Amino acid sequence: MSMGLRTWQDQCKNTALAQYLETPHFFCQATPGAGKTRMAAELAKALLDQGRIDLVLCFAPSRQVVEGFRRTFSDVLSRRLDGLIGAVGAVCTYQGMEYRDETFWKLFDDYRVFAVFDEIHHCAGHDALLSNAWGQRIIQRVQDRAAYTLALSGTPWRSDQKAIVLARYSTPEGNLICDYRYGLEEAISDEVCRSPRIVILDNTMVRLTEAIESDNTVTVFPNIASLLTDSPVTYESLLFHEDVLRQLLLLGCRKLKEIRNVKPDAGGLVVATNIEHAHQVAAMLRLEGESCDVVTNKTPNAQRVINDFRHSNRPWIVAVGMISEGTDIPRLQVCCHLSRIRTELYYRQVLGRILRRSASNDTEAWLYVLAEPSLQQFSERVADDLPRDVAVLNYLQGVSEEVAASPVENSADQYNCHPVTPFQGECFERESQQLPDEIYSYDVGRTYELNFSQHYRTQLLRVC
């Protein structure tokens, strides 16, 4: 076994080396946080040492992942991967492929190239006509010209159900065929990944008041799911509701403080919806006495902010689309999922940010979400990755005492009132509450006020 490699990494590397004697393509699915980048770098080193390749070219979905690949490969190969003279190769984003000139693509004709594709599910298609732009370039420029390819994914499916480039599927079932698979079950058993603890926040008495001229109509909903199903309220608008935000953030803050008592550098991540939302969340964290960094695509030197946070012991970072799949910050152990994106692919990518273990005393990862139906379904399906284990659903009692809402001025009313879903036109321009476009479709002559009771309930999905 190579020095410092985990068992699965060494097995996968050796399996690939053997398979490359028969076919140039290899597909590896490994759960987020398992160490796919290190395995890929060791495989590249073995191919170089055996004289089977001349160059290594890597492709990844974001600049953050590109930087991580460059660091890991350079460390393992003891050679630069910056594309300059004397380097053993280069790393670029999938988006950056369209800006590469013919000189770059000619490398595949002039040299034996090992092409590595991280999170390959971003690239769709089996032929040039039914592919997305990234998939087309791989099919046209790489697939039949590289000496070897390595396709990596922690979540090997697409929300649009399209086929993944470089992948093989069984017939007639259409199931993805992985040349090597390392699931969450194995990763937890091997103490490579943390065991997920998913907390779903709900409210058992939600009141929606509709004002039409001089009349008010009040409807009470028994949970968030029925509110979203049977009222004009959208999930996106809930994400801006100060009381709901406060409850979810308090849960995350208290869990992170508990963890930091044992592991002082443990960190927390809030995945926000947009820039305005990120700053709203950051302001609420600071009101609770929590320091936090904010990083978005508008943040100057965003990569430096992420790197500084990675090597610090600051508790929280609030991000919009910046700390995504492949971004390696092992000390992250708590996450509040407050993005408007609700696909299972994105959900699992967010969960993956807190699964990577960094020490022997951080065995659990905590994810906090609202009880929106699809998010609840995704949470319960995490257990699908652990077929021989039982997912235990616990209803925690006394939650309103542990995470009680702020006292209500009218003691006879158990609701915290906050007009978070203002459908009146003059409210749309408030910078602190950039509301979703869907709200504009409602009759602006009506006003809705959304009030949550103090009867919050959390449902814990514990993956053992």
Q: pLDDT tens for residues 334-380?
A: 999 999 999 888 898 899 899 988 877 788 999 999 999 999 999 98
- Kindly report the CATH class assigned to 195-463: alpha beta
Per-residue model confidence (pLDDT) at position 130: 64
Average pLDDT of the segment spanning 122-135: 77
Establish how many alpha carbons lie within 13 A of residue 449's alpha carbon, considering only the half-sphere containing its beta carbon. 12
d(CA 164, CA 185) in angstroms, rounded, equals 24
DSSP secondary structure of 315-382 = SEEEESSSS-TT---TTEEEEEE--S---HHHHHHHHHTTTB--STT--EEEEEEE--HHHHHHHHHG
CATH 3.30.70.20, applies to 7-182: no
**pLDDT > 90? residue 37:** yes
Token pair, residue 288, equals 């609770």
Question: pTM for the whole thing?
Answer: 0.79
Per-residue model confidence (pLDDT) at position 421: 29
Q: Within the chain, which residue ranges are assigned CATH 3.40.50.300? A: 7-182, 195-463
Amino acid symbol at 263: K
Per-residue model confidence (pLDDT) at position 240: 93
Per-residue model confidence (pLDDT) at position 427: 21
**Residues in contact with 178: Cβ distance below 8 Å, sequence separation at least 6, in sequence order:** 27, 28, 29, 156
Sorting pLDDT into bands at 50, 70 and 90, what band is 163?
confident
Token pair, residue 10, equals 């060494």
Average pLDDT of the segment spanning 21-41: 93
Average pLDDT of the segment spanning 434-454: 54
Neighbours of 438 (CB within 10 A): 12
Token pair, residue 136, equals 């087309």
Provide long-range contacts, Cβ within 8 A and 24+ apart, for 228-234: 228/372, 228/373, 229/373, 232/421, 232/423, 232/442, 232/448, 233/208, 233/421, 233/448, 233/450, 234/421, 234/436, 234/438, 234/439
Whether residue 114 contacts residue 44, with contact meaning beta carbons closer than 8 Å, is answered with yes
**pLDDT > 80? residue 125:** no
Sorting pLDDT into bands at 50, 70 and 90, what band is 384?
low
**pLDDT > 80? residue 385:** no
Tokens 């017939």 belong to 171
Per-residue model confidence (pLDDT) at position 136: 86
Sorting pLDDT into bands at 50, 70 and 90, what band is 398?
very low
State the burial class of residue 104 (Cβ atoms within 10 Å of its Cβ: 0-12, 13-18, 19+). middle
Whether residue 417 contacts residue 451, with contact meaning beta carbons closer than 8 Å, is answered with yes
Per-residue model confidence (pLDDT) at position 311: 92
Sorting pLDDT into bands at 50, 70 and 90, what band is 325?
low
Per-residue model confidence (pLDDT) at position 444: 31
Per-residue model confidence (pLDDT) at position 389: 34
Sorting pLDDT into bands at 50, 70 and 90, what band is 62?
confident
Sorting pLDDT into bands at 50, 70 and 90, what band is 324?
low
Q: Which residue has the higher pLDDT, 71 or 436?
A: 71
Token pair, residue 71, equals 């660091």
**pLDDT > 90? residue 22:** yes
**pLDDT > 80? residue 432:** no
**pLDDT > 80? residue 276:** yes
Low-confidence winner among 36-40, 180-184, 210-214, 300-304 (lowest mean pLDDT): 210-214
Phi and psi (nearest 5°) for 190?
Answer: -85, 0
d(CA 322, CA 299) in angstroms, rounded, equals 10
What order of strands is seen across the sheet that includes strand 364-370? 292-295, 316-319, 267-271, 332-337, 364-370, 195-203, 456-463, 391-395
| Three-state secondary structure call for residue 72 | helix
Tokens 């009030």 belong to 451
What is the crossing angle of helices 302-310 and 63-77, to 10°?
Answer: 60
3-state helix, strand, coil in the chain (%, to 5): 35, 25, 40
Establish how many alpha carbons lie within 13 A of residue 89's alpha carbon, considering only the half-sphere containing its beta carbon. 28
Sorting pLDDT into bands at 50, 70 and 90, what band is 129?
low
Average pLDDT of the segment spanning 176-199: 91
Q: Are strands 456-463 and 391-395 parallel, antiparallel or unpaired?
A: antiparallel
Average pLDDT of the segment spanning 20-35: 93
Amino acid symbol at 2: S
For the chain, percent of residues with pLDDT exceeding 90:
56
Per-residue model confidence (pLDDT) at position 88: 96
190-238 pLDDT, tens digit each: 999 999 999 999 999 999 998 876 778 899 999 999 999 999 999 999 9
pLDDT, the chain, mean: 82
